[in-house]
Structure formats: C-alpha cells, structure tokens
Amino acid sequence: AAHALLNAFRANKPAFGTWLTTGGFVHARSLARALVGTPQQQSWIMLDCEHGLLPLNPARATEVIAAIHGVRDGPSALVRIPATGQGVGNGSEGVNWQIKYALDAGARGVLVPMVSTPAQAREVVLSSRFPPVGRRGFGSPYTQENWDIQTAGEYLNVANESVVVLVQIETREGVQNVQAIAEVDGIDGLFIGPYDLSISLGYPPPSPDPHPQVEQVIQEILAVAHKAGKKCAMFCTSGTQAARRAAEGFDMINVTSDVGAMQSGLAAEFRAAASA
C-alpha cells in the first residue's frame, strides 16, 4: 500500500514534511490540505508526541491521523513516540507499546528518538514489524480503515513493506554506533536531530546552522546511511535550509512546524501591512 512518503522514497525524490506539535483534528486537516498542491507532493506530517503538545493518547492520535489521511492526495502521517531508544533494554516496554498504538492508529511510519545502539534499533524493528520479521501484535479492527484497505488480513500482508521505520541519531553514542545501527535489517532510515546531536556532542544548538564540527558529523551520518542502502532524514526549520539539505542528498527533510509557520506567516503579513 503506497503513500506519499513511501512514493518519494521509492522514486528517490526528497520528501519534505512538517512537524505537528499541537492541535486537534481540524488543525491537522488544515495543515495536510496546505501541503496538497505545493510543488512537492510527496510530503509527510510528523505528529510530535515526544516534545509537542500531542501526548500519545491513542484516541486522539487516531483522530489526527484519520484527519490527515482523509485529505485526497495528502501527506503521510507519522508519529514520533515519546519513549527513546533507552526505553528498551532497561526492562521498560515503553517503545513497544507506543509503537503499537501509533501504528494501530494508522500511522504510515514511526520515529524513535535517541536510538544509540544496534540492539535498540533491533528492538524498534521487532516492535514495528509483524512476524516473521518482528513481533508486532496483530488485531486492531481499525487500522485497515485508515489505510483505506478492505480487511485486516490485507493490512497484515502489506504493513511490513509499507510502514516506514526511522530512528533518530542524536546522541554521542548513536554517532559512535551509527554504522551498526544503519545496517540493522528493517530500519528504513536514520533521522538526524541536530539540536540534541549538538548538545550531546558538547556544542550549542544550531542557530540556525549547526556548529562546523557538528556539520561534519551530520555529513558522515548521511554518507553512512546511504552506504548501508538506507534513507537519511534531516530536521530543518526553514525552507531555505531544507532546500540546501535536499541538494546535499537528504531523502526526507523537515521544513517547518505548525506553530513556526503560523508565527512566521503572521509576522510576514503584519510587516507587509505596516509597510504601506
């Protein structure tokens, strides 16, 4: 079952997207509709349940994801879960149940913050893929509706190849282990979080560009991902930055956020109004 982000990945075209940090389903639908008809159709929206004001409340996530996917030719909705890679391997089931809720709600993919070891990446894959690849549980009666698929059985047949599994490289340990993480089967891509990456490496956060030492690490991660045959994603905060990252070869690029776009849009209109 294809969707906008997967289409871009398969066509080797950069997929631009935006962070969704707040709001209900009306807000999410407006954001999704705003992306339809932009020059870049292969877009995505990330429900930020890590730092945004969208806690991973399954009922709410289901409504927001349904609103986005109700938009014809619209973007793919993905979920960044709250639990980090450290949520596995210490006995916590955080990553497991959060991925389950996100995917059962119909998300086209998941993003797990701060994945620092190949063991953590493998755990992410186990939670995201149905057997025989992983151990994701099967049984939601709603997921296939969101995918516009007729039966749960059909969803089971397409989910492993259609769900996009992304891990964030944004810790010093993650950088040290980046090659082994990239090589984990079932991981589709590495998503660089330049803010956490900078502070983990002992540098200030990007303002707006990363410190040159951090930039070097970013380019190394991009090269490692591609060498392993994986996609590489980058978080940006403006269209100008995003265009540059696309030209560098990034496959998936965050352009802005709901709140950021609202603020800059308002500021631009008010500046225009005052310039008369």
Contact set with ligand 3PY (CB under 6 A): 168, 170, 193-196, 235
Tokens describing residue 143: 């997921």
Strands, E assignment, 21-142? 44-48, 76-80, 109-112
Compute the least distance from the CB of residue 235 to ligand 3PY, in Å. Answer: 4
Q: How far is the CB of 196 from ligand 3PY (least distance, A)?
A: 3
> Least distance (Å) from ligand 3PY to the CB of residue 239?
17
Q: Which is nearer to ligand 3PY, 170 or 258 (CB)?
A: 170
Q: Are 191 and 233 in contact (CB under 8 A)?
A: yes
Annotation says 3 is catalytic: no
Which positions ≥6 away from 148 have C-beta within 8 Å? 69
Q: Which of 3, 51, 211, 226 is catalytic?
A: 51
Long-range contacts of 63-68 (CB under 8 A, 24+ apart): 63/24, 63/25, 64/20, 64/23, 64/24, 64/25, 64/28, 65/105, 65/106, 65/107, 65/146, 66/25, 66/106, 66/146, 67/25, 67/26, 67/28, 67/29, 67/32, 68/28, 68/29, 68/31, 68/32
| For ligand 3PY, the closer CB: 29 or 80 | 80
In angstroms, what is the minimal distance from the CB of 110 to ligand 3PY?
14
Which tokens go with 160? 């492993």
- In the DSSP assignment, the letter for residue 211 is P
Residue number with the smallest Cβ distance to ligand 3PY: 193
19 versus 155: smaller Cβ distance to ligand 3PY = 19
Which CB sits closer to ligand 3PY, 9 or 191? 191
Nearer to ligand 3PY, 43 or 168 (CB): 168
Q: From the CB of 95, what's the least distance to ligand 3PY, in Å?
A: 16
DSSP letter at 85?
G
Active site residues per annotation: 51
